[in-house]
Structure 1
Amino acid sequence: MADSQDSQDTPTDTPEKRRLAQEKKNERYVWWYLAYFLFGIHIVAFVMIYAVTHAK
């Protein structure tokens, strides 16, 4: 009987729970992509600042 109750608590129980779990996962990926993008922009900016300040 405990097995049937455990299976009801899984995120794959209903389509709504599956959709919410997938949406949460996708949102987490979006934040990671945004973080990498912003980090990359800053690296490019620092390289450009270095290049301009050290140009002859």
Structure 2
Amino acid sequence: MTTDGERRRLELEKKRERYVWLYLGYFLFGIHIVAFVMIYAVKHAK
């Protein structure tokens, strides 16, 4: 049996975990965009 406080804590943990994954996803996506821009700049430099 889980108490009300325990259930609330579990829900909060799940919510936090989702935010962490979203942040991680956007962070990795952003790094790739920066990398592609840098590669483009280096390849097209005169």
TM-score by length of 2: 0.92
Greater helix share, structure number:
2
What stretches of structure 1 of length at least 5 have no aligned partner? 1-12
Partner of 2:10: 20
State, as a whole percentage, how many aligned pairs show the same letter.
Answer: 77
**Larger relative contact order (CA 8 Å, sep ≥ 6):** 1
Higher gyration radius (CA):
1
Gaps of 5+ in 2: none
